[in-house]
Amino acid sequence: MVRVVAVCLVGLVAIPFLAACGTFESDAVWSIKIRNDTKRFVIVSDCKTSACNVFRYAKHFRPGATLRASDYGDGTSWWRVTNRQGELLGCLTLGASERVDGYTLIVSSLRACP
């Protein structure tokens, strides 16, 4: 009986603590689009880490094309953009005000990579 009470007490203390470990946006995922509004063929790689040196996938797309993407709001939602030769053109990311379902991020809004 004492062990059961001890386990229950530990659980009552641990659960609220563990629930507070996530960030405010950690459960939110926004479906967005990335549109190539430039006149060049580009490769967009979804960064798996905030350092943008490991990727989940890479998509090749022509001028005017649009692709679907997900923004997790966890600080790792960056996309590295390169040309056909693999030369870095820049990176895309979303600011807090742009995190809404259906937002379209345009390739011409490239910024420096992390």
42-72 residue pLDDT tens = 999 998 888 888 998 899 999 999 999 888 7
Q: How many CB atoms lie within 10 A of CB 41?
A: 13
Q: Is residue 96 part of a domain?
A: yes
User: What is the pLDDT averaged over residues 6-29?
Assistant: 46
Q: How many domains in the chain? A: 1
What's the confidence (pLDDT) of residue 21? 38
pLDDT-based confidence at 97, cuts 50/70/90?
low
Does residue 18 belong to any structural domain of this protein?
A: no
Does 8 map to a domain? Answer: no
Which structural domain, as residue segments, surrounds residue 42?
A: 24-109
pTM of the model: 0.70
User: Which strand (E) or helix (H) includes residue 17?
Assistant: helix 2-19
Residue 75 reports pLDDT greater than 80: no
Contact 113, 91 (CB under 8 A): yes
Q: Does any domain span residue 17? A: no
* Domain contains 89: yes
15 in a structural domain: no
25 within 8 A of 74, measured Cβ to Cβ: yes
% of the chain beyond a pLDDT of 90: 40
Distance (Å, whole) CA 22 – CA 19: 7
- The answer to whether 90 touches 108, Cβ cutoff 8 Å, is no
Residue 43 lies in a domain: yes
Asked whether residue 85 is assigned to any structural domain, the reply reads: yes
Q: φ, ψ for residue 61 (rounded to 5)?
A: -150, 145
CATH of the domain at 30: 2.60.40
